[in-house]
A and B are shown apart, each in its own frame.
Chain A
Amino acid sequence: MTGEAQDGRLDGFTVPDAPRRPGEQAHFEPWTFTPQDLNRPDPKTCTSADTSEHASGLVRVLDDDGIASGAWHPNLSPDELRQGLEMMCRLRIFDDRMMKMQRTGKLSFYMRSLGEEAIAISQTMALQEHDWLFPTYRQPGCQFVRGRSMVSMINHCIGNVEDNVKGRQMPVHYTYREGHYISVSSPVGTQFSQAVGVAMASAYKGEDQATITWIGDGASAEGDYHYAVNFASIFKPPVILCVVNNQWAISTHRHFASGGNNFATRALPYGIPSFRVDGNDFLALYSVTKWARERASAGMGATHIEILTYRAGAHSSSDDASLYRPADEHEHWPGGDPIDRLKNHLITTGEWSEEKQIALEQQLDEEVVAAYKEAVTHGDLANGPWPPASTIFTEVYEEVPWHIQEQREELGK
């Protein structure tokens, strides 16, 4: 449906569509971007105008053959890279296990990070340990970097007596204060503008502490996205604003999130430097985040990043993506798979092998199964034991007011 004018009459307004629907051949235009395309400006002096090519281009470090090069090469040690690979694989295997448990009723619902594992893990590794993370449900991987045990994560997902949020929230709505990982909330987008306030508080207190936050391409249509960018442009707090453009918001294509083709350039007129980065390139993600962190430390304020990627799995365990997009579309994504790409890079540089990869996956699978077995000894959603019903009434306020106390007594549990 397009709004064409005929004899001075408009034939309706424009309603976009997704480029490909089920039954059609999946296809993306091949990328022409290379690791050589873009310079690395000085984060301490850079203006938004200095990043206009970075926002309309694509920051890449790894080429299609797994070779790292260019101004954004972060020169991470092989150990650091292997750590990143290990955590990405851990997340994928963890997700697969949780999905299986969901099918058996042990948890009510689940959301995977499939195809987006590099984002949370690489970016969290690029930050300081005490920096705030303000994620969506699609960045649980941060917690591996910050040392959260899988048992503790599973306890939350299956809502058992050991769930640190006491069975109150749906699965994948993690809270992990120790890791400076702020409680995930279902209403999408809300964290994005809240993060600006978190960062303003850090600046006010004079702490060298940055805040990173993420929002989906879909949720970037919410007011919260626009509040965040505007407030950040005005108050210039140490915040890193990331739009994860994975092409889809449930069944809604990104064509319904923005009339333009690019999310990165949106921040430029606000005076905020902005980059578009290959979201399946672990090294590029790391490097751009490190740049933003340096800028934050220098007191230069916010950085805006569009992370270009593809949601390879269904939206959630409740969703069947083959009903609205070609089932194999993810296989055609020009950015490939983040795990394969880092693995190939390590193999190409002689730091890894297919045999080691198989052994690693096997070991991780065993660790995940062991964690799962331990977690279910504390109960699961299908069979209990659940957190006691008294947890419904506590922590609504700092102290339980009389009317809630009365209701608790009425329930008698």
Chain B
Amino acid sequence: MTEMNMIQSLNSALNNMLESDPNVLIFGEDVGYFGGVFRVTDGLQEKHGSNRVFDAPLAEGGIAAIAFGMGLNGLRPVMEIQFADYIFPAYDQIVNEMAKLRHRSGGEFSTPVTIRTPAGGGIKGGHHHSQSPEGQFTHTPGIKVVYCSNPYNAKGLLISAIECNDPVVFFEPKRCYRGPFYGDPHNVPTWKGHQYSDVPEEHYTIPIGEANMVMEGDKCTVIAWGAMVHVAEQGIKDSGISCDLIDLQSLIPWDKDAVVNSVKKTGRCVIVHEAPKTSGFGAEMSASVQERCFYHLENPIERVTGWDTPFPHSTEWDYLPNPQRIADAIKRTQED
């Protein structure tokens, strides 16, 4: 075990995969010589050569298309989209092409592409360096969607994503690269000493489809992913109410047993995400919990989310869900 931040653990996952599988290639904007604008691929080109880790032209649609082609022809490409906000030039390649190849070809072809992309707010990135577009991908059958939240699950999930034979969109909460984010911009801890910062140097996996129970309680189930896991943890503490905190980790497929068992136990549910509310993945969670746990629910399911607006720059702390809003929602679920 080594103490790592999320940048280091992701780098370690990529390094393990480059070492163990010659078909793994890594490319994207600025990922080669420089090692990525967030430094996740730092040192990998030097170690593994520029034929395996290289800069791509500034063209996300092209990057996704060549990844599609390489994956179809036996390689295991890991492409980076520099910010999730810039995934949209690649949207057609992902949604219409990668997601449907296996199905459209009667199972004769598939493409095991992994798309890594930093997502989410909290870095004063304004409209186009802050979005969390997981809902735009969970709505697309044929791709798996993963959202890590800490150094330990980042590595285990990324290795699973790369080894997965389906295309995977892998979101990394950029606000948590160097430390967990508890919703207070003036409190910026590092990962030092955190329970999830001890990371094995060697290969390990966390299966796609399994959630992580971060905290156990009996009065309410709080479901979150990405940076919001830590904000929800703070919100739960502030509420003083005993809660299960489920870090969903995988959105497609999501961990039905973890969610359903917890809600049946607590009878209450709060869902937290930073993406806008309308048609966000919280809507899917809420509907599914209602379908599966209706007779166990004591109160309406609550959603605490970003607003249905573009992500702002100066006022981002009024946009992102904060511990206060989460604590208030938990309390509402306790009313008689």
**Interface of A: prevailing SS:** loop
Interface assignment of A205: CB less than 8 Å from any CB of chain B: no
B58 touches A222 (CB 8 A): yes
Q: A185-B128, A251-B33 are in contact. Are A223 and B309 (CB under 8 A)?
A: no
Is B209 located at the chain interface by the 8 A CB criterion? Answer: no
Q: A187 and B128: CB pair below 8 A?
A: yes
Q: Mark B292-328, 1 if CB is under 8 A from A, else 0.
A: 0000000000000001111011110011000000000
A104 proximal to B (CB < 8 A): no
- B2: Cβ under 8 A from any A Cβ: no
Asked if A1 and B50 sit within 8 Å, CB to CB, the answer is yes
Residues of B within 8 A of A223 (CB): 59, 61-62, 89
CA separation between A69 and B55, bound complex, in Å? 41
Contact partner of A393 among B61, B62, B88, B307, CB < 8 A? B307
Min distance, Cβ A195 to any Cβ of chain B, angstroms: 17
Contact across chains for A323 and B278 when beta carbons are under 8 A apart: no
Residues of A within 8 A of B51 (CB): 1, 12-13, 15
B319 & A392 in contact (Cβ 8 Å cutoff): yes
Assess whether A222 is in contact with B315, with CB atoms less than 8 Å apart.
no
Q: Does A403 contact B (CB under 8 A)?
A: yes
Interface size on A, residues (CB 8 A): 54
B34, A249: Cβ atoms closer than 8 Å: no
Chain B residues, CB < 8 A from A222: 58-61, 89
Residues from chain B with Cβ under 8 Å of A18 in the complex: 33
Q: How far, in whole Å, are A393 and B306 apart by their CA atoms in the complex?
A: 12
Chain B: minimal CB distance from A353 (Å): 43
Chain B interfacial residues counted at CB < 8 A: 40
- In the assembled complex, which residues on chain A have CB atoms less than 8 Å from the CB atom of B33? 17-18, 21, 251, 324
Chain A 11-24 interface mask (CB, 8 Å, partner B; 1/0) = 01101011001000
Closest to A165 in B: B313
A21, A163, A186 pick with most chain B CB within 10 angstroms:
A186
Task: Write out, one digit per residue, whether chain A residues 169-201 have a CB within 8 A of any chain B CB (1) or not (0).
Answer: 110010000000000011111000000000000
- CA distance in complex: A413, B324 (Å): 15
A370: interface (CB < 8 Å): no
Known: A12-B51, A403-B308. A389 touches B30 (CB 8 A): no
Assess the B34–A168 pair: CB atoms within 8 A. no
**A316 and chain B: residue at smallest CB distance:** B37
Task: Note all chain A residues with C-beta closer than 8 A to B59.
Answer: 221-223
Are A186 and B55 in contact, CB atoms less than 8 angstroms apart? Answer: no
Cβ of B125: which chain A residues have Cβ within 8 Å of it?
Answer: 170
Contact check: which of A257, A387, A407 meets B314 at CB < 8 Å?
A: A387
Q: What are 10 residue pairs bridging A and B, where the CB atoms are less than 8 Å apart in the complex? A: A1-B50, A18-B33, A168-B127, A186-B129, A187-B89, A221-B58, A223-B59, A252-B30, A403-B278, A404-B308
Given contacts A108-B124, A170-B127, A250-B37, 7 further A-B contacts (CB under 8 A): A1-B49, A167-B313, A167-B315, A221-B62, A222-B89, A250-B29, A389-B315
